[in-house]
Amino acid sequence: MKYMIINMKALEPLKITDNGLEDTLKTISGTMIKGAFFKEFTGGKILKEENEKDKEKFKEFQKLLKEKNLYFYDGYLKKDGNYFVPSPLCFIVNKHKLKNFSEDEPIENIKNVFKDEFIEGDVNLDKFEYCFINDKQMNVTSIDIRENIHITKKMKEGNIFRYQAIEKGQEFYSVVKGSENRLKKVKEYLENKEIYLGGSKGTGYGKVKIGELEIKDFSKLKEKIFKSEEKEEKKLRIYFYTKTVIKDEFGNTTSTIPTEYLSKKLDISNVKLEKQIAKIFNISGYNNTWKIALPKETAIKEGSIMEFSYYGELKQEKIDELEKNGIGYMKDRGFGQIFINPNFLDVNKLVKYKSKKNEEKSKYEKIEDENYKNILKNIIRGKEKRFIDRRVIDLQKSGKIRINILNNQIQNVLSIIENGKNGNFQFEDKSYLEDLKQVSLFGEKLKESFSKFSDLEGKLIGKEEYKRKELKKMEEKIKEDELFRSDFELAKEILKNLFYYKIRSNKEVKKDGE
């Protein structure tokens, strides 16, 4: 078996949810990536055996569908060329130190539950989803998430709801395991391609760019991701790299690895579970073909760790064999990948990862108090929100804004507004905007308004009413662009809220008509 790393970049926000839930997952489902590969392979069409042109490809596709040894793992975060892994759940820190934890204030001498005792004031370090560990230093980070308001026409009541999405611009990686021939086939159809993942595809969500793909053997894969080999230990510690479903001999789900199984696979005896730090959660899915929810399963969360004592000698070839094969059920969905006694668990310093992009940004060099800086920004955000609400009401009363379109059309316009950047809006079908004749902003059609948005900014904001300098006096040393949104971003928020106002109006009119 060989391995291949798929490098991905989110060109649009990603909705990766579990069975339609509002909150996004913090990983990219391996089954979604596998589905995208099948779509590229078939060209997005249904292959028919009786069709002479599809005959050979249909046979190959049937083989791929039945292939049991082609595994797509969940996609994890990647930053500045570093491959992040699910944060091990075994570390503990003092809660007071954690409150002051920042990019400029790391925490020294963090504890490990397998070596150290809990004392008063200690808490589990589980608030950061990902980490990159090197030279006994644990660099932690989280995925950037955005929240939006969306509309559904499937419900008569409550059709406006909140939705989370993974912010665009972030990089991820996934691992695919299979025979070299199968991996070459995946490489052929995915390398340097643009694919769609997750929900609301084609409406401003889901576009992902696949980069270069490289096939590796198992040892090279571990070196690439973990930067280290296993460490010799008297204990057997197992780290869950992916979520894992384990069942006993009777088919019942269990929250630990059966000791008899480890004895057999590792050729050791007297295996005993000493301690574990694990999270258990329910997983589900959805079959798009049959339009039904898949049965729920109980899984061990990625990042969990179990420690066993044993009698005998751990042989490297046995360790490699168990790691390569994985454990548990649903391995075809990327479940069950473990690593044994990884050296990266031996860390003593906690650092909040500082990306290269953040280092290039302007810094608050003259402000030492981080709390004061955050308070000041919150005050300004509150002032901006109150201003936006007031401007939306005033503009509606002025009669200078005309929006007489349906909610589904409004949603398409909102996607265009949301993706506006650096004073410009991009849309593939310009004729679509020309058809929206029932929308005008200050006497201009929507298409003209978007093409010369700089002229519209001042009218939307009403600059004479928005006096930013009043709050600027609170701290003369801070650059204005570090505290305030640009005119473009502020005007975007006003325009979005004008369309949201229309959605609510449409809903109220419909309700009165009933």
Residue 44 pLDDT exceeds 70? yes
Residue 403, pLDDT score: 82
The answer to whether the CB of 304 falls within 8 A of the CB of 240 is yes
Neighbours of 83 (CB within 10 A): 21
Tell me whether residue 335 is exposed, middle or buried, using C-beta atoms within 10 angstroms of its C-beta: 0 to 12, 13 to 18, 19 or more. Answer: buried
d(CA 412, CA 251): 48
Q: Quick one: average pLDDT of 294-302? A: 86
Residue 506 pLDDT exceeds 80? no
How large is the angle between the packed helices 487-513 and 407-418, nearest 10 degrees? 170
Residue 476, pLDDT score: 47
In the numeric block, the tokens 């391996």 are attached to: 30
d(CA 59, CA 53): 12
Looking at residue 106, what DSSP letter applies? -
Of the listed ranges 76-85, 125-134, 269-278, the least confidently predicted one is 125-134
Question: Could you give all domains of the chain from N- to C-terminal order, each with its CATH number?
Answer: 2-219 (no CATH), 229-341 (2.60.40.4350), 370-513 (no CATH)
Q: Quick one: average pLDDT of 473-498? A: 66
Residue 446, pLDDT score: 73
Residue 205, pLDDT score: 87
Per-residue pLDDT tens over the stretch 299-336: 999 999 999 999 999 999 999 999 999 999 988 888 99
Looking at residue 465, what DSSP letter applies? G
The answer to whether the CB of 92 falls within 8 A of the CB of 125 is yes
The answer to whether the CB of 190 falls within 8 A of the CB of 40 is yes
Per-residue pLDDT tens over the stretch 99-156: 889 888 899 989 998 888 888 888 888 889 999 888 888 999 999 988 776 665 555 5
| Helices and strands: H and E segment counts in the chain | 15, 30
Residue 291, pLDDT score: 65
Residue 473, pLDDT score: 47
Residue 150, pLDDT score: 61
User: Which of 79-83, 377-381, 425-429 has maximum average pLDDT?
Assistant: 79-83
Residue 363 pLDDT exceeds 60? no
82 versus 411: which is more confidently predicted? 82
The answer to whether the CB of 173 falls within 8 A of the CB of 7 is yes
Q: Quick one: average pLDDT of 367-375? A: 58
Residue 466 pLDDT exceeds 60? no
Q: Quick one: average pLDDT of 352-359? A: 73
User: Two tokens at 127?
Assistant: 């608030």
Residue 249 pLDDT exceeds 60? yes
Query: Residue 360 — pLDDT band, cuts 50, 70, 90?
Result: very low
Backbone angles phi, psi at 490, to 5 degrees: -65, -45
Mean pLDDT, rounded, of the chain: 80
Residue 362, pLDDT score: 40
Q: Quick one: average pLDDT of 79-100? A: 91
Considering the chain, what percentage of its residues have pLDDT values greater than 90? 30
Q: Distance of CA 431 to CAs 79, 163, 364, 427, Å?
A: 39, 29, 46, 10
Residue 512 pLDDT exceeds 70? no
Is the pTM here over 0.75, yes or no? Answer: no
Strand ranges (E), 236-377:
236-240, 246-247, 253-254, 269-277, 280-283, 286-287, 292-293, 297-300, 305-311, 338-340, 349-352
311 versus 442: which is more confidently predicted? 311
Q: Write the single-letter amino acid at 397.
A: K
